């Protein structure tokens, strides 16, 4: 049985609240789970209370082969239970081709009146 540490959504419409659970990978997101291991409330502004984890039980499930999802891995990395590999995407902050073309056209249009003004004097 493939085990996952993942989030199961609870809460009402537009008020999300998640349980950190260990579940069979084939079961639905909000369906059957084996054990509840913590909570995540994204609406809270206090970072310390936003995520609560039962660390000893999480370590147990990791030792028997449970794999965390990306979001849960972030929580575990912040808690110091697992190490998350940093992403390496050098093009992440660069604007796309169209945005670059628009910025160049805007700069050229702004520079044209500035060049014409000294010539008129």
Report pLDDT digits (tens) over 17-41. 999 999 999 988 888 899 999 999 9
Superfamily (CATH) of domain 3-79: Ribosomal protein S16 (3.30.1320.10)
As a whole number, the mean pLDDT across the chain is 89
CB 25 within 8 A of CB 2: yes
pLDDT reported for residue 113: 74
pLDDT reported for residue 87: 78
Measured distance CA(55)–CA(76) in Å, rounded:
9
So where are the chain's domains?
3-79
Q: What is the pTM of this model?
A: 0.70
116 pLDDT tier (thresholds 50, 70, 90): low
């Amino acid at each position: 049985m493939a085990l996952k540490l993942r989030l199961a959504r609870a809460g009402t419409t537009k008020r999300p609240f998640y349980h950190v659970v260990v579940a069979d990978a084939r079961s639905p997101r909000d369906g059957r789970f084996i054990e509840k291991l913590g909570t995540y409330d994204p609406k809270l502004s206090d970072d310390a209370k936003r995520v609560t984890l039962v660390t000893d039980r999480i370590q147990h499930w990791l030792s028997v082969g449970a794999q965390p999802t990306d979001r849960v891995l972030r929580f575990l990395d912040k808690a110091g239970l697992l190490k998350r590999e940093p992403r390496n995407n050098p093009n992440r902050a660069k604007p796309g081709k169209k945005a670059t073309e628009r910025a160049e056209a805007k700069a050229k249009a702004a520079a044209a009146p500035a060049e014409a003004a000294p010539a008129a004097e």
